[in-house]
Amino acid sequence: MISLFTEPLDAFCGGFFLLTAIGIVSTRQMLACLRLFMIQALLLVAAALLIGVKLSSGDLVAVAVITFVTKVVAIPWVLKLSLGSEIYAQREIDQVLNIPLALLISAALVLFSYFVATPMVTAVGQPFTNINLPIGLAGLVLGAFTVTVRREAMAQLIGLLVMENGVFFASISIVPHLPVIAEISAAIDVPVMSLIIGLLIRRIHKRTGSTVVSELATLRED
Amino acid sequence: MLAAVLILPLLAALLVLLPIGHRGRWPALVTVLTNAILLALALAIVAHVSHAGALHEWNQSLSIDAFGALLLLLVTFLGFTTAIFSWGYIVERRIGATRTGKVRLYYTLYHLFILSMVAVPVISHVALVWIAVEMTTLMSAFLVAYEDTPASLEAAWKYVVLTSMGAILGLLGILILYWGTRVAGDVPFTWAGLVTGAPHMPKTLLWTGFLLILVGFGTKVGLVPLHTWLPDAHSQAPSPVCALLSGVETSTALFVILRLFPVLQAAPLVADPRPWFIAIGLVSVGAAAFLLLHIRDYKRMFAFSTVEHMGIIMVAVGLGGMPAHLAAMYQLTAHALTKSFCFFAAGTTLVATGTQEVGAVHGLIHRAPLAGTALFLGGLAIAGAPPFVVFISEFSIFRAGLADGQYLSIALLALFVAVAFCALTFHINRIVFGRAEDVPAHAIPRPCLAALVIAAIPMLILGLYLPGPLAALFRAAAATLGH
Amino acid sequence: MWQSILFNLIQVAVVVGLAPLVEGVLHRMEENVQSKRGPNIFQVYRDLWKLLQKDEIVSEESSWIFRVAPYVAFVMPIFVTLLIPVLTRYPLFFAFMGDMLAAGFLLALGGFFMALAAVDAANPYGAMGASRTRMVGFLAEPVFMMVFFTVSFTAGSTIPYIVQTSWTAVPGGFFEPVHILVILAFLMLILADESRIPVDNPSGQFELAMIGKSKYLEYSGRGAALIKWAGCMKFMVLTCVLCNVLVTPWGLAAEHTLVAVLLAIPLVLFKTLIFLLVLVVIESSLAKLRLFRISEFLSAAFVICLLAMVTRLMGS
């Protein structure tokens, strides 16, 4: 039963994964952004479990557990710890482009990721790659886009985390048997990155009284 | 031996936290000693690798070949000289710190930073190498922001966010290569394994993986147009940190890119990587050379010179052939040695004058003769004037390229290098000579001078004479880059 | 054939007869969610009856458009009902007269006449409401087209009866991203088109903030009743398109017998009830958007639909 529906259910997770990535590009509330990220991480966990059960890969189940612990539990906690409530509960966030334009560009980026991914998928023809690779790639690109258009430090951090989620979403299909040691270290890397960037945000907030990083623009060529 | 290289900095990072000693001398002492031991270990490893070839440990999960050994040697040498310089700059002059606790934090991060950099050539599994490279960013983030000024925080922010973006792109590239090795059969996911597996990999996987890694790690190397964070971070960090960032951290990321050169060459059907390396390198050299013309901050000037040198190495590797690869290794070494000296000189100048602006300092040689001489020598050396080591390495690149008949690339490279030479010497001239202001210079701490002297020795000697064992190491390292 | 026509007429009767009930249930549920008692679920019927009893007052300055518009608006949903599956999963007599695009245009024609009538009466609020409705309409149009294209790519047809079976044709097809995304985009489209909460406040009484309702301010008596009824029917028709065509054909009559068709009525009402629940949750948890942010809402719907198309065309 499960194995018959694994592929469509994985696709289902993928569809929502894309939606959350786009939501993170376009939403205005900071907390909504963070919640969308957590939902996205949950979808990643679900997809890893599905593929792990289907391919009976213990590594992927471990990935699912690690992802759950780091991205759904640890990162929001680390951010709350390192940022303090007044930055954590941000109000509206600003962005460089207006939202309809940002949305259209995101759609174009998704299309681009499909164009990049399709040759690889057809060259190898491994199960699930047709779903996970393009969507993971799109997550990567949309995360990078988030970092570029957002002016707020915290939103840029979430953009980075979305990129990471995208890579993992692709990796559960392309390399389902990556050694656990690599997974674990990558999993440690993510909270460390959040912690360091979170602490940096706090220092910036303390020094300049704001977390709008685009206002930090004293260093440039003239 | 390789395991010791990883464990030692970790131990030292804990040791410096012990509340012993007065005014932070204990962490400084521990750091100098451990880095001296690390350097000795690296020398032993180099000796072993030169005689017996690649070294493997821990069931092949740690391994090092000649190229890795060269990088390890450079990292540990710079780690040692920078440890001495930090003693003067961070502990005695207390630049950017008022509390001893902060000095301890500096040293803890210093060791972790060194650990992440020595891990890059030592670890065999490529996915773990990625983590080491990412850790170099994360561990040095607070070193860049050490002075806690808005400008340094801005620089640290750009540094962390942009290089992390790059690292995540690179991660996907590495995973795609891993996918390729699975498709190609059961080859181990190491640099050597990639070379053997490359002919059997699907073309599109290899190429996409390479492009992602090139863009991702290229950000970290500071290749134009992904260099925007580099001048900021390398000018706002404390000078000893700049020496490490510019001297070897960029090289560790470049190491990963260069490792893919033989992989791509092993799969001749994919695409010839050589024009790509040359084009990307030339763009970096050219852009950096022209950006060097109008610069206001002398640390920023050295940072742009790093971009230029990374480009030169890319070109040298792209030229192909043993002589060019040998020259690339020479250039990598020359850059690390000279650039660290330059940043020590810049740090000394900063200590003496209290400003980083090119226009604000005149007649340094009269105001602070030692700092002035150091900056003058450093500027000349990094610009590529004889008899320093950069001159020899750049010259051998030109010679290798001309012997191979690649006139256009060499002509462009020579033009850009000449522009950079003029720009650098012009700025250095303005700072060092001319009428001095009547402001007395601050005293320069003795460890800073010691570091300057130690760093100057190889920079000068290698320009005149290349010792036999080192030449053998260069040859073996160049051989790992294929043909 | 006669049976087919009969079933078609039953469909029309269901929509005409039960649409006010659906509206009444929605009102009741919304009030209940806000911890109020809420009106009787048959209150809409009483309102309609009351309005039909009353005299109609028509401005001397207005033209024939003002008089005709309510009838046009009332007839269009009935036409659409002939085209779409309300109770059966097999095509009925008029099913091949028009596709989903035709249904969309028929509904748009009613809206067009209402906008003309609103301007015709020369009430300043009417013109304002009409222009705002048009703005939302223009923004919604590309989304509608995208939904239409995506659905036709997936099903290989634009006839609603054929589209509805395509989702269950393959196992797990229900969970395909394209399906979920199209449903989501269409839901957002309904919210915009029906002037519901994130776009407009249907229960607001403040003329300056109105988008949809201000068009009907000039109507009284029979005209007002027809417009109100037409609004209920349009809502029910769109609900049926969403529930029966885009979500699933589950619960519809599969056999060609009168009993099966009549049995489908409560099942369809049940599905509608579930949809109403979703709607109530959306409406009570979101705030109305500022006017110029409606474009963001609809562009999000557009992009979602574009994604559906991309995942469909390139993913498999």
Which value does ipTM take for this structure? 0.93
Written as six digits, the tokens of A25 are 């590009």
pLDDT in tens, B136-192: 999 999 999 998 888 899 999 999 999 999 999 999 999 999 999 888 888 888 998
Determine whether the interchain pair A167/B171 forms a contact, defined as Cβ–Cβ distance below 8 Å. Answer: yes
pLDDT in tens, B239-298: 999 999 999 999 999 999 999 999 998 887 777 888 999 999 999 999 999 999 888 888
- Chain A touched by C146 (CB under 8 Å): no
CB B113 within 8 A of CB B136: yes
Contacting partners of chain C (3+ CB pairs under 8 A): A
Distance from CA of A9 to the nearest CA of C (A): 6
- Chain B touched by A164 (CB under 8 Å): yes
Pairing of strands B55-57, B62-64: antiparallel
Q: Of chain C residues 149-178, which have a CB less than 8 A from chain A?
A: 171-178
Position B82 scores a pLDDT of 95
| Pick from B112, B10, B9, B4: nearest CA to B58 | B4
| Chains C and B are touching, with contact defined as 3 or more CB–CB pairs separated by less than 8 Å | no
Number of domains in chain B: 1
Q: Which residues from chain A sit within 8 angstroms of residue C299, using beta carbons?
A: 99-100, 103-104
Q: What is the mean pLDDT of residues B444-457?
A: 92
Position B233 scores a pLDDT of 92
- Bridge partners, residue C253, by sequence: C88
Position C284 scores a pLDDT of 85
Give me the residue from B127, B157, B235 closest to A178, CB to CB: B127
Give me the residue from A160, A200, A222 closest to B156, CB to CB: A200
Containing domain of residue B215, as a range? 2-479
Distance from CA of B154 to the nearest CA of A (A): 6
| Pick from B144, C188, B204, B348: nearest CA to C180 | C188
Q: Best-predicted range by mean pLDDT among A81-85, B70-74, B290-294, B319-323? A: B70-74
Q: Is the pLDDT confidence value at C316 over 60? A: no
Give the position of tokens 């008596």.
C221
pLDDT classification of C133: cutoffs 50, 70, 90: confident
pLDDT in tens, B36-84: 999 999 999 999 998 888 888 888 889 999 999 999 999 999 999 999 9
pLDDT in tens, A97-115: 888 888 889 999 999 999 9
Q: How far apart are CA B341 and CA C156, in angstroms?
A: 70
Locate the chain A residue with the closest alpha carbon to C314: A114
What's the DSSP call for residue B403? H
User: Which residue type is seen at C14?
Assistant: V
Give me the residue from C171, C296, C315 closest to A130, CB to CB: C315
- Average pLDDT of every residue of chain C: 87
pLDDT in tens, A124-149: 888 888 889 999 999 999 999 999 88
Q: How far apart are CA C215 and CA C133, in angstroms?
A: 9
Position C101 scores a pLDDT of 87
Determine whether the interchain pair C306/A107 forms a contact, defined as Cβ–Cβ distance below 8 Å. Answer: yes
pLDDT in tens, B92-135: 777 767 788 888 889 999 999 999 999 999 998 898 899 999 99
Q: Is the pLDDT confidence value at C200 over 90? A: no
Other C-beta atoms lying within 10 Å of the C-beta of residue C19: 23
Distance from CA of A186 to the nearest CA of B (A): 7
Share of chain C above pLDDT 70, in %: 99
Q: Which residues from chain B sit within 8 angstroms of residue A208, using beta carbons?
A: 150, 153
Q: How far apart are CA B267 and CA B175, in angstroms?
A: 18
- Secondary structure of chain C in the HEC alphabet? CHHHHHHHHHHHHHHHHHHHHHHHHHHHHHHHHCCCCCCCCCHHHHHHHHHHHCCCCCCCCCCHHHHHHHHHHHHHHHHHHHHCCCCECCCCCCHHHCCHHHHHHHHHHHHHHHHHHHHHCCCHHHHHHHHHHHHHHHHHHHHHHHHHHHHHHHHCCCCHHHHHHHCCCCCCHHHCHHHHHHHHHHHHHHHHHCCCCCCCCCCCCCHHHCCCHHHHCCCCHHHHHHHHHHHHHHHHHHHHHHHHHHHCCCCCECCCCHHHHHHHHHHHHHHHHHHHHHHHHHHHHCCCCCHHHHHHHHHHHHHHHHHHHHHHHHHC
Distance from CA of C177 to the nearest CA of A (A): 5
> Who wins on pLDDT, C225 or C93?
C225
Position C153 scores a pLDDT of 84
Give me the residue from C172, C178, C314 closest to A134, CB to CB: C314
Compute φ and ψ for B451, nearest 5 degrees.
-60, -40
Q: What is the mean pLDDT of residues A159-172?
A: 92
pLDDT in tens, C16-75: 999 999 999 999 998 898 888 888 999 999 999 999 999 888 888 888 999 999 999 999
Q: Of chain A residues 49-108, which have a CB less than 8 A from chain B?
A: none
User: Which residue type is seen at B164?
Assistant: S
Q: Of chain C residues 98-137, which have a CB less than 8 A from chain A?
A: none
Share of chain B above pLDDT 90, in %: 62
Position B161 scores a pLDDT of 92
Q: What is the mean pLDDT of residues B225-231?
A: 90
Inter-chain CB pairs, A–C, below 8 Å: 84
Determine whether the interchain pair C295/A134 forms a contact, defined as Cβ–Cβ distance below 8 Å. Answer: no
Q: Is the pLDDT confidence value at C184 over 70? A: yes
Q: Is the pLDDT confidence value at A1 over 60? A: no
Position B74 scores a pLDDT of 95
Distance of CA B402 to CAs A152, B279, B335, B399, B441, Å? Answer: 51, 17, 22, 5, 47
What's the DSSP call for residue C212? S
